Structure formats: C-alpha cells, structure tokens
Amino acid sequence: MITITSYTVELVKDPFGILTGQRYEFMLDIEVEEDDELYTDSGLYIRAIYNVEAGSEKLLNYELYEKTTQLYLDYDLEEDEVAVVAAFCKEHFQDTSE
C-alpha cells in the first residue's frame, strides 16, 4: 500500500481550448513498504493527471518515477492504490493557487 507524504498540484493550461474540462497535474511523493515490489532506496513519486468536467471527475493517467534519478518506472498500481490516488486528487484538486 502507498502513503502520500506530500504533493503539489497545478492547473494545466490549455491555450487552444482543445481539452475538455479542467485538468490538474499532481506530483505526489509516496512511501511504500520495503517488501513492496515498488520499493526503492531513492524514493518514489507519482505524476497524476486529474480531469474535472461538468458532473464528472476522474483520474485520467498516472506515472511512477524514482525521485533522485527521475527515472520512469513501468509499473501499474494495484486497484486499491489507484483508488487512493484518485480520492486524494478529488479531495485536493482545488488546492491549486491558480
């Protein structure tokens, strides 16, 4: 299971009006247990894109990265971990300063 330790959130600007709704980019610092296959001494973060549209809010995409190397990790989170990320984004997307 993952634990979100800190985060930043920014509204993704769409100057051409191509995207529907408003999209938010989250950078979520996470911790995982040492026996988890995702564990690395360098630490991990998740880059997540969350979409808010009239009557609909959802996690569109997420990517895992190693903190110190910025190396992309080609792993999928488990369903309950994806639910944790989606719930966190839903709760915090309005925390953007823009």
For 30-50, write each residue's pLDDT tens digit: 999 888 888 888 899 999 999
State phi, psi for 17 to the nearest 5 degrees. Answer: 70, 30
* pLDDT at residue 97, rounded to an integer: 65
pLDDT band at 28 (very low <50, low <70, confident <90, very high): very high
With H, G, I as helix, E, B as strand and everything else as coil, classify residue 66. strand
Q: Which among 73, 54, 53 is positioned nearest to 63, based on CA atoms?
A: 73
Strands 22-32 and 44-53: what pairing? antiparallel
Burial code (b: 16+ CB inside 10 Å, e: under 16) for 76-93 equals ebeeebeebbbebbeebb
Boundaries of every domain in the chain? 2-93
- 98: pLDDT strictly greater than 80: no
